[in-house]
């Protein structure tokens, strides 16, 4: 999947990540190819276990080793391979050039350190200057995310869930990262706070021109935040394209299933459509196309041959020979 944008920031080439356990080898990510340009937001969408978070942890070089192992491929960031970097070099990149917002803010915050000091610590790690400079920058970041500077002396337990997530965002953005990875950043929040956090992230993206990878189950968030979308299933990207292409001209049966399972206010249907069956066991993936046991379009060939990504239009790729064959007939 080649990008048309010459301002390429991140390129993932044929990335394969496995977890080797006593009960078997978990095929978490298989042959992943993606590109992200400067200023773009890419959405990773798929069910739990699709490989979205593993991909993000692979980019950050934060995979638990063992059992995780990058079997093959490369991750190119700003023209350099992250997989060839020493750990000391990665520590400079993490938080400095690439930052990550995790699902649960409480797992990211130290409960016994005031939040302003936690932000200042990140600044001290990656920027030159005095402790006073770092604390001033931390106060500025709190105000940027809508928290009064004077509340910086408070501890995490004194903040609501939404405010804690704002603190985590402030930490992530404290050193002006080039790439921000947000892993289900609104999952633990109620709907009103979700909207506030998303609006904040959108404003910050516009202000500092940060590229983003948004990992989510929520197709509404993708529509609002993302320029491009990668639909993942069982460790593979099955459809990839601009948000407009995916939403208006989706082709892969799995993508169709995800959209059909959404409630439609214009429809009089009494029951939501579901994708029958369950995600496959990652230690024992089906042969051929991993989705074929759940697919309404599956043929005998689908169980025999792993599908290749096919370019449908300049910005749209899909891995389903049945649907691409239908397009050729039309």
Condensed to tens digits (0 to 9), the pLDDT of residues 275-307 reads 888 889 988 999 999 999 999 988 889 999 889
Q: What percentage of the chain carries pLDDT values higher than 90?
A: 54
pLDDT, residue 266, reads: 66
Q: Is residue 160 assigned to a domain?
A: no
Going 321 to 322 to 325 to 330, the CA torsion angle's sign is: negative
CA angle centred on 103, ends 259 and 98, rounded to 5°: 100
Q: Is residue 103 assigned to a domain?
A: no
Q: In terms of Cα–Cα distance, which of 91, 35, 32, 34 is closest to 62? A: 91
pLDDT digit string, tens, across residues 163-210: 898 899 889 888 888 999 999 887 767 777 778 778 877 877 777 778
Q: Is residue 301 assigned to a domain?
A: yes
Q: What is the pTM of this model?
A: 0.88
Q: Is residue 141 assigned to a domain?
A: no
Domain that holds residue 63: 8-40+47-84+228-264+272-329
pLDDT digit string, tens, across residues 22-77: 888 999 999 999 999 988 999 999 988 899 999 999 999 999 988 999 999 999 99
Q: Is residue 126 assigned to a domain?
A: no
pLDDT, residue 6, reads: 56
Give the integer Cα–Cα distance in Å for 224 and 204: 14
pLDDT, residue 260, reads: 85
Q: In terms of Cα–Cα distance, which of 325, 197, 307, 323 is closest to 256? A: 323
Task: Cite the beta strand spans of the chain per DSSP E.
Answer: 8-21, 24-37, 41-45, 68-77, 80-81, 98-101, 179-183, 211-216, 228-233, 236-242, 310-313, 316-318
Structural domain count, the chain: 1
The chain-wide mean pLDDT, for the chain, equals 88
Helix, strand or coil, per DSSP, at residue 306: coil
Q: Is residue 310 assigned to a domain?
A: yes
Scanning 19-173, the segments in alpha helix (DSSP H) are 52-60, 87-93, 105-108, 115-126, 131-144, 161-173
- Please determine, for residue 269, whether its predicted confidence score (pLDDT) is greater than 80: no
pLDDT, residue 161, reads: 82
pLDDT, residue 3, reads: 47
Looking up residue 53, the CATH number of its domain turns out to be: 3.40.50.300
Q: Is residue 63 assigned to a domain?
A: yes
Half-sphere exposure of 267 (CA within 13 A, CB side): 10
The string of DSSP codes covering 76-106 is EETTEESTTS-HHHHHHHBTTTEEEE-S-HH
Give the integer Cα–Cα distance in Å for 285 and 307: 14
């Amino acid at each position: 999947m080649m990008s048309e944008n010459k301002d390429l920031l991140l390129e993932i080439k044929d990335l394969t990540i496995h977890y080797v356990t006593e009960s078997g080898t978990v095929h978490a990510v298989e042959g992943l190819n993606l590109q992200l340009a400067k200023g773009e937001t890419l959405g990773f969408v798929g069910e739990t276990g699709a490989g979205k978070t593993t991909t993000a942890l692979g980019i950050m070089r934060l995979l638990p080793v063992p059992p995780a192992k990058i079997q093959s491929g490369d991750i190119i960031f700003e023209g350099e391979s992250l997989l060839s970097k020493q750990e000391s070099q990665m520590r400079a990149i993490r938080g400095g050039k690439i930052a990550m917002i995790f699902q649960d803010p409480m797992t990211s915050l130290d409960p016994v350190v005031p939040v302003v000091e936690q932000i200042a610590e990140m600044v001290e790690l990656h920027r030159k200057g005095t402790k006073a400079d770092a604390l001033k920058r931390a106060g500025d970041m709190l105000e940027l995310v809508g928290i009064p500077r004077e509340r910086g002396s408070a501890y995490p337990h004194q903040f609501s869930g939404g405010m804690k997530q704002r603190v985590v965002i402030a930490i992530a953005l404290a050193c002006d990262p080039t790439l921000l990875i947000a892993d289900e950043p609104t999952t633990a929040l109620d709907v009103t706070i979700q909207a506030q956090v998303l609006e904040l992230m959108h404003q910050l993206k516009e202000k500092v021109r940060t590229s983003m990878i948004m990992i989510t189950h929520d197709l509404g968030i993708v529509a609002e935040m993302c320029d491009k979308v990668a639909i993942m299933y069982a460790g593979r990207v099955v459809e990839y394209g601009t948000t407009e292409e995916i939403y208006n001209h989706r082709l892969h049966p799995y993508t169709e299933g995800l959209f059909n399972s959404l409630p439609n206010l214009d429809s009089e249907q009494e029951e939501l459509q579901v994708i029958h069956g369950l995600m496959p066991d990652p230690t024992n993936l089906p042969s051929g196309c991993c989705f074929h046991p759940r697919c309404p379009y599956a043929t005998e060939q689908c169980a025999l041959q792993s599908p290749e990504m096919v370019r449908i239009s300049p910005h749209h790729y899909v891995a389903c020979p049945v649907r691409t064959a239908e397009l050729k007939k039309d």
